[in-house]
Amino acid sequence: MEPARCRRVRANGQLPGHVFRTGAPSLDLMIDGRLDSRDPIAALELVRNGRVERIALPARVTMQESGWFLVRAIAGVAYTFRFASTGPFYVELGNAPAKPERASARFFVEWCDEWLSALNANPNLTAAQREDVLQPWREARAFWLAKFD
pLDDT digits (tens, 9 = 90+) for 31-85: 999 888 888 899 999 999 889 999 999 999 999 999 889 999 999 988 888 888 9
* The pLDDT of residue 137 is above 50: yes
Mean pLDDT (the chain) is 88
User: d(Cα 80, Cα 18) in Å, to the nearest integer?
Assistant: 31
pTM above 0.75, yes or no: no
Lateral strand order in the sheet of 27-32:
10-11, 27-32, 59-63
Burial of 91 (0-12, 13-18, 19+ CB in 10 A): buried
* Contact between residue 76 and residue 3 where contact means Cβ atoms under 8 Å apart: no
Type of residue found at 92: E
Alpha-carbon distances, residue 46 vs 22, 67, 117 (angstroms): 21, 13, 37
Type of residue found at 109: V
